[in-house]
């Protein structure tokens, strides 16, 4: 019997959009029985949001003081216990265990997969059927179709940039479960420093304005922030701009940064290295502004403008 | 303390890979191969830890045919003390790699196993987490800063929300992110010296590793191509194109 368990991502108060996108990936598998597990200190608020999502059968809440921070060593045995034995036939086991391929899902789920004793399918970008998936390899320069053997559970992360968020309209029942694992005591949260909390979230924004090395300095980035504000867009950056210290690293878009799929993406002063293009391949419309007409970014841009960005960007902002 | 660093031989990151026309795989014949860039960063960090006097020995290990000895020699030339090749044919999926490294952990008893956060060929990002699970030890993934003191590692991790710091008891598994450091260049005399450093070869069978498969590659294809774009001559034209697409 096929049953899906999704491990919710949240900040203690709000269910992440990544979870709603993972749900869409799950629904594409054609399996009707989809549970969402919420691990939290107090899961009630997040559970209510999950219960409203269209297509959720049950929301399982696991409340424990340990879940203030998501530590993989604490959560992985918990997920294994909740996932149950897929071969038991008792209905207690899940055939599919899913998380979004955010840094949280990437950290936690492979640890759970190893405890379960299976390999993970990382970063599903398209669902063919309940055991067959497409995923990107070689920095998205190739796509492989993989099939998971019938005799093992599908443990997989879902590439959030490839799926729309599931809508509301559901009314799943909420069931509380006991924590089944213990704190191994060897891993402790210390602190987290967030970036600037202004404007929309880079991972989910419908418009993103990114700057590259050609911005020249962190002051040079001011025109990027200004244009983004005008467009109610999130700000992104290439690795070169991050490495040069112009912007904090959580703004990095690309293979080693965030993979995003906004409706509209502005690549400004970005040459378009393959590692950067990996991060934006699924964007709706790509606009490139660059002084080098030979820059590889123009090969993927839907609209390209060649010229001095320090003149063109303020002019563009003025005409919006 | 020993540090074990794992090195994967992958297609060099500057190579634009091509999918074979019959969809059976990615063209790797005659293509430049290198150490996975994240593994190089892991090795660099291990060497720096040793140079600070916080570790005595750095061991590099790789799984694969004899061709991986090239990457192990490069690791030795960077400064690793000795190398272990675990010979294996065919597709080695992350859980098999993790089980293999666990056997090496049991033999060598390192204080830290340092891996790259992901290999740039399969982009799986699993092996370090899996090793930590099987070893039942802490993991600190996507590390961009590592400090050691009193049998503990304090690790800054690059997460979606920014920079998270955790503290883990050693022994532990760490995986490197891009900004952890800038790996050193190898100098010619070091390459000569590396040829005399020990390189042991074991096999999956000798180590009694149970292979974990379960995920079969059915076919490969190039990524969907984006439609050909066009260049506009002015900001006005750009704005009107975006308006025509309903984006403004």
Q: What sign does the dihedral B152-B154-B157-B161 (CA atoms) show? A: positive
Please report which confidence band the pLDDT of residue A198 belongs to, taking 50, 70 and 90 as the band edges: low
Asked if A161 and A261 count as a contact pair (C-beta separation under 8 A), the reply is yes
Check B160 against A102: CB less than 8 A apart. yes
**Residue A119 with chain B: CB contacts under 8 Å:** 93-95, 126, 212-215
Residue A18 pLDDT > 60 = yes
Nearest residue to B165 via CA among B148, B145, B149, B187: B145
- In this predicted model, what pLDDT tens digit does every residue of B74-127 receive, in sequence order? 999 999 999 999 999 988 999 999 999 999 999 999 999 999 999 999 999 999
| Residue B9 in tokens | 């031989």
Q: Which CA distances in Å does B234 have to A289, A306, A308, B50?
A: 11, 9, 11, 56
For A131-138, the CB contacts below 8 A with 24+ separation are: A132/B218, A135/A159, A136/A278, A136/B123, A136/B223, A137/B26, A137/B121, A137/B122, A137/B123, A138/B11, A138/B17, A138/B26, A138/B120, A138/B121, A138/B123
Tokens of A272: 């378009």
pLDDT band at residue B48, thresholds of 50, 70 and 90? very high
Q: pLDDT of B152-188, one tens digit each? A: 999 999 998 889 999 999 999 999 998 899 999 999 9
Decide if A191 and B26 are in contact by the 8 Å CB cutoff: no
In DSSP terms, which residues pair with B83 in a beta bridge?
A: B60, B199
Strands in B91-138 per DSSP E: 112-116
A223 pLDDT band (50/70/90 cuts)? Answer: very high
The Cα–Cα gap between B239 and B190 comes to 57
Cα B201 to the center of its chain, rounded Å: 20
C-alpha distance across the termini of chain B, in Å: 59
What is the SS3 assignment for B114? strand
DSSP A163: S
User: Phi, psi at residue B199, to the nearest 5°?
Assistant: -135, 105
How does strand A4-7 pair with strand A34-40?
parallel
In this prediction, residues A2-14 reach a mean pLDDT of 96
In terms of CA atoms, which chain A residue is nearest residue B233? A305
Do residues A146 and B216 make contact, with C-beta atoms less than 8 angstroms apart? yes
- Collapsed DSSP state (helix, strand, coil) of residue A116: helix
Give the residue on B whose Cα is nearest the Cα of A112: B133
Neighbouring residues of A126: CB distance < 8 A, sequence distance ≥ 6: A133, A134, A162
**Chain A partners of B242 at a C-beta cutoff of 8 Å?**
264, 285, 287, 303
Distance from CA of B45 to the nearest CA of A (A): 18
- B187 Cβ neighbours under 8 A, 6+ residues apart: B77
Residue position matching structure tokens 């149970």:
B210
For A106, the closest of B125, B223, B247 (CB atoms) is B125
Question: Residue A291: exposed, middle, or buried by beta-carbon count in 10 A (0-12, 13-18, 19+)?
Answer: middle
A71: pLDDT strictly greater than 70: yes
Q: A141: burial class by Cβ within 10 Å (0-12, 13-18, 19+)?
A: buried
pTM of the complete model: 0.91
pLDDT at A140 over 50: yes
Predicted pLDDT of residue A201: 84
Q: What is the 3-state secondary structure (H, E, C) of B165-184?
A: EEEEECCEEEEECHHHCCCC
Beta-carbon separation of A103 and B142 below 8 A: yes
């Amino acid at each position: 019997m096929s049953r899906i368990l999704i491990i919710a991502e949240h900040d203690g108060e709000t269910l992440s959009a990544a979870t709603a996108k993972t749900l869409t990936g799950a629904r594409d598998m054609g399996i009707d029985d989809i549970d969402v597990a919420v691990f939290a200190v107090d899961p009630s608020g997040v559970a209510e949001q999950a219960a409203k999502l269209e297509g959720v059968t049950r929301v399982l809440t696991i409340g424990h003081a340990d879940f203030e921070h998501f530590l993989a060593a604490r959560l992985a045995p918990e997920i294994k216990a909740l996932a149950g034995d897929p071969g038991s036939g008792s209905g207690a086991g899940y055939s599919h265990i899913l998380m979004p391929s955010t840094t949280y899902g990437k950290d936690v789920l492979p640890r759970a997969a190893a405890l379960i004793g299976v390999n993970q399918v990382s970063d599903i970008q398209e669902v063919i059927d309940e055991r067959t998936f497409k995923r990107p390899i070689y920095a998205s320069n190739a796509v492989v179709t993989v099939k998971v053997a019938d005799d093992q559970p599908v443990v997989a992360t879902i590439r959030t940039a490839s799926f729309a968020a599931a809508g509301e309209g559901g009314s799943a029942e909420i069931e509380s479960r006991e924590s089944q694992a213990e704190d191994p005591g060897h891993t402790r949260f210390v602190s987290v420093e967030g970036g600037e909390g202004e404007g929309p979230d880079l991972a989910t924004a419908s418009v993103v304005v990114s700057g590259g090395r050609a911005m020249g300095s962190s002051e040079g980035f001011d025109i990027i922030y200004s244009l983004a504000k005008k467009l109610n867009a999130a700000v992104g950056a290439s690795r070169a701009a991050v490495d040069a210290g112009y912007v904090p690293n959580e703004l990095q878009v690309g293979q080693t940064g965030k993979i995003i799929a906004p409706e509209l993406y502005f690549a400004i002063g970005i040459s378009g290295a393959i590692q950067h293009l990996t991060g934006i391949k699924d964007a709706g419309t790509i606009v490139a502004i660059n002084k080098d007409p030979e820059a590889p970014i123009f090969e993927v841009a839907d609209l390209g403008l060649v010229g001095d960005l320090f003149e063109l960007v303020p002019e563009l902002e003025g005409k919006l | 303390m020993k540090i074990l660093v794992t090195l994967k031989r992958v297609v060099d990151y500057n190579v634009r890979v091509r999918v074979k026309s019959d969809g059976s795989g990615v063209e790797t014949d005659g293509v430049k191969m290198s150490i996975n860039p994240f593994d190089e960063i892991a090795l660099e960090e291990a060497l720096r830890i040793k140079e600070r006097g916080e570790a005595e020995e750095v061991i590099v290990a790789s799984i694969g045919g004899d061709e991986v000895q090239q990457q192990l020699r490069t690791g030795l030339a960077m400064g690793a003390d000795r190398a272990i090749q675990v010979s294996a044919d065919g597709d080695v999926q992350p859980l098999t790699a993790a089980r293999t490294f666990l056997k090496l952990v049991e033999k060598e008893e390192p204080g830290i196993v340092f891996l790259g956060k992901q290999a740039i060929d399969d982009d799986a990002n699993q092996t370090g987490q899996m090793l930590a699970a099987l070893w039942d030890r802490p993991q600190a993934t996507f590390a961009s800063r590592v400090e050691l003191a009193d049998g503990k590692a304090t690790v800054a991790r690059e997460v979606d929300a920014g920079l998270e710091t955790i503290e883990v008891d050693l022994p532990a598994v760490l995986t490197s992110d891009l900004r952890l450091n800038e790996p050193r260049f190898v100098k010619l005399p070091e390459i000569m010296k590396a040829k005399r450093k020990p390189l042991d070869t074991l096999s999956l069978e000798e180590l009694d590793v149970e292979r974990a498969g379960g995920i079969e590659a059915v076919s490969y294809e190039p990524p969907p191509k984006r439609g050909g774009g066009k260049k506009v001559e002015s900001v006005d034209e750009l704005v009107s194109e975006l308006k025509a697409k309903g984006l403004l």
